[in-house]
Structure 1
Amino acid sequence: FAEVLLEYVSKTFNEAYIDRREFGQLMRQLHEEISLIRKGLADAALLGQFLHTGSMEPRKRPFGNGGLLAHLAVTGALASGEQQEHFLAAMNLEEKDIQAAAIDREHVLKSVLEGLQGVHIPFLLLDKYQYILATNSTMLKLFSISPGGVKEMFDSSILRYNLLAIMSSEDFQGYAKEQRMEFFYHTMPRTLHVFRSATLASRFSPDYMILARELQRFPSYKAYAEQVATQKPSVISSQRSYQWRHPVYGHLRFLTITAVTPTPYGALNLITYVPQGPGTEEVFRSMADDPSFGLIPLSEWRP
C-alpha cells in the first residue's frame, strides 16, 4: 500500500505544496504502526478509485483532494490533534508558515518565562517533544524531587528533562506506586497522545527519531505506546480533575489545565495544577512561601 500511495502522491500532488516523499514515508509509518492489511485499508479509505494508476491523469488532479486525505486520517485512526498535523503535513506547512510574524525563538521563550515568574501553583512548561523547559519549586516539592535530582535521572542528554522518559523510568514507576499516585495511570496515556499529535509532522526529524529510539528502551513506554496507538480519543480534553492521597500533604484535589501557545518553532504547552478546595490551596501556598521558591529553567527548547 505504502509504495502505491507514494507513487500516487509523487505523480499527482503539486510540488509547490508537498514534500511528497516525506509525506509518503509518514503514511507508510502510520500504516505499519496499526498493522492494517492492504485490502482492509483500501476498503476503509475508499482508495480503489485513486490507486488505479493507469487511469490517473498526472498533475491534473488538484492537491486539495480533501476526500483522500480525510479518508487517510480516518483509516489511520488519528486522534483530533493528529489529524490537524496530518493535514498541515500534507500541505507541506510548518508552524513557521502559519504564524503571523517571525519572532526570534529566544525572545519567545524569554517572554513566556518572564510571565511565569509569579506563578505559585505547580506548573510544567513543555515543548512539542515533551521536554520540560521550566517548572517551579512548588512542582518539585509536590513530587519530592530536587532540581539536581531531575538532572541526574539520566546520563543521556537525549532523555534528560524529557517528561515521557521520566514517567517511563523504573524509578518513577516505583515512586508512583509507593506514593499512591493512582492519577498517574491516566496522565501517562494523555501525555503520549499530546506527544504523538504535536510531533506527527516531525516523525522523520533527527530529534524525533533519536528520542523515539531511546524511549523504546523503557518497557512501560512501549506498553503505553501500543495502548495509545490503538485507543485514540476523538477529543483530548485540556483539563482534568485528579485526587491524590499524598503521604506527606494528605488528601489533595487539583485540576490540571493545559494552555497551548502556538509559535513559529512549535507549540509550547503550559500545564498548571489548580487547587480544588481550601486544603490543597493551603498546601500549595505553604510551598510557595518557602524562601527557596522560584522558577527553575531546565531543558533547552528543541524546535
Structure 2
Amino acid sequence: MPGLLWDLHQFESAGNDDEGEGVEHKAFGQVVTALRKEQIDFASGHSWSQHRLADETGLTVRIVGKIERGEQARLDRQILEGLAQAFQLTSFERREFFAMASEVTDASLVRAALGSEEVFTQVWALLDTLCAPAFLMDPFADVIGVNRALLAFHDLNLAQLKAARETAAGANNIAFLLAPDGRLRQMLGRGWRPIALANVQQWRAMTLRYRHTERFRQLFSALSAYPDFYGLWADSHEDGYDDYSRLRSYSYLHGAHGPVAYTVFTNTSISGYGELYLSTFVPQDRVTTALFQELAGKGGQALSLAPWPNPSLG
C-alpha cells in the first residue's frame, strides 16, 4: 500500500513542540511495535522495519521511533488514522487502537463507585440461569466459565475441560477450537472452519490493546503450536474483511445433534480488570429451539475454568 502523502514538516514540527510536555504513551507504543512486527514483507520474509512503517504511513522514521518508544506526546488524528490504515485494522480493531492512544487503563474506564466484583457476580448469575448454551470469556478469550447446556450441546465433560487447563494455552477458547483431536472440533464437523475463523477474527480485536503483554505473547506462542493457527490468523485479516459486529450466525451438521442453526450473541460488560464477554447461543429454527429447550432441562450451576481476574490484568 503506498504511503500517505502528508506534509512531513508538520510531523517534525509536532515532534519538536512535544519535547518538553512529558506526556508518555508507553503502552500504546508497545502495541504499535507489536502490530508492526505482525506485518510481513513478503519480498524479504521479515517483519516490517520502522523504515517500512514510515513509508506506509508517510511519517518520518524519527516520528515512528518516538511513537514506539512512547515519546510522541501528540498523537493526532492523521497519525492514528495513518497507522490504522497501514496495519489494515478492522472497525473493531480501530476502535480499540484509537481508545488505547488515550492511555486510559481498564481500571480508569469504569467509575470508582462501580465494583468489578459486583459486575462479575451479575454476569455469572446470568451464565448460571440462561436457558441456552453460553460461556464467559476475558479479553484473552480465556474461558472463565461455561453453563451445563453448552457442555451438553458439544458433548463435553468436566474431565476434558480440566485437562485443557493444564495445557500451555490453558482454558482458552481458541485453543479449544484448534485442538486437532479435541471433542469440540469433532462435534463441529464441517462447521469447524467458519466458526474457528470467526473466533480468531474476534480474538484479534479483543486482544489488540493487550498485544504487548506477557500473557498475549505466551498465548500466541502456545496457539502457534497448533497446525491450523497460522492459516486462520492470516485469513482472519485478509484484504477487504471488516469486523464490525459481534453477531455470528452458523448453520451446519452437528456431530451429536444433526442439523443446527443459531446465532451467537456476545454481550460485553466493563470491569476494572478488562471486559467480560458473555456469549449466548440463540436458536434460528424450530429444530434448534427444541434442542436448546431440551438442553436447558439439564441444568445446574455453571462451571468455573480460567481464573478471574486474569493475573495479567489484576
TM bin, normalised by shorter chain, reads 0.7 to 0.9
Match for 2:36 among 31, 35, 56?
A: 31
Higher mean Cα deviation, 9-18 or 293-302?
9-18
C-alpha distance 141-41 of structure 1, shift in aligned 2 (>3 A): same
Alpha-carbon distance, 1:100 to partner: 2.5
Per the normalisation by structure 2, the TM-score is 0.79
Say whether residues 1:88 and 2:94 are aligned partners: no
Q: Per-residue displacement from partner, 1:134-158 (whole Å, max 9, x unpaired)? A: 11111111111012211113533x5
| Equivalent residue number for residue 295 of structure 1 | 302
| Equivalent residue number for residue 19 of structure 1 | 25
Amino acid at match of 1:18: E
* Structure-to-structure mapping, 1:55-204, within 5 angstroms: 63-101=74-112, 103-153=114-164, 155-156=166-167, 158-172=168-182, 176=185, 178-179=186-187, 181-204=189-212
Amino acid at match of 1:297: S
Structure 1 gaps, min length 5: 54-58
Per the normalisation by structure 1, the TM-score is 0.82
Structure 2 gaps, min length 5: 1-10, 42-47, 66-70
The answer to whether the 8 A contact 2:190-2:252 is kept is yes
Say whether residues 1:286 and 2:294 are aligned partners: yes
**Cα distance between partner residues in 1 of 2:19 and 2:287:** 59
The answer to whether the 8 A contact 1:12-1:63 is kept is yes
C-alpha distance 109-151 of structure 1, shift in aligned 2 (>3 A): same
Helix, strand or coil for the counterpart of 2:181?
helix
Match for 2:54 among 27, 42, 46?
A: 42
What is the percent sequence identity of the aligned residues? 21
Alpha-carbon distance, 1:273 to partner: 0.7
Count of aligned residue pairs for this structure pair: 286
Helix, strand or coil for the counterpart of 1:117?
helix
**Cα distance between partner residues in 1 of 2:156 and 2:139:** 23
The answer to whether the 8 A contact 1:102-1:264 is kept is no
Higher mean Cα deviation, 186-195 or 162-171?
186-195
Higher mean Cα deviation, 82-91 or 120-129?
82-91
RMSD: 3.1
Higher mean Cα deviation, 76-85 or 244-253?
244-253
**Cα distance between partner residues in 1 of 2:281 and 2:207:** 24
**Cα distance between partner residues in 2 of 1:109 and 1:260:** 11
| Equivalent residue number for residue 45 of structure 2 | none
| Equivalent residue number for residue 56 of structure 1 | none
Helix, strand or coil for the counterpart of 1:170?
coil
| Equivalent residue number for residue 237 of structure 1 | 245
Q: Per-residue displacement from partner, 1:7-44 (whole Å, max 9, x unpaired)? A: x9798477664333x43332232222112566664344
C-alpha distance 245-127 of structure 1, shift in aligned 2 (>3 A): same
Q: Per-residue displacement from partner, 1:96-155 (whole Å, max 9, x unpaired)? A: 222233544333212211233221100111110101111111111111101221111353
**Cα distance between partner residues in 2 of 1:247 and 1:49:** 53
Amino acid at match of 2:28: F
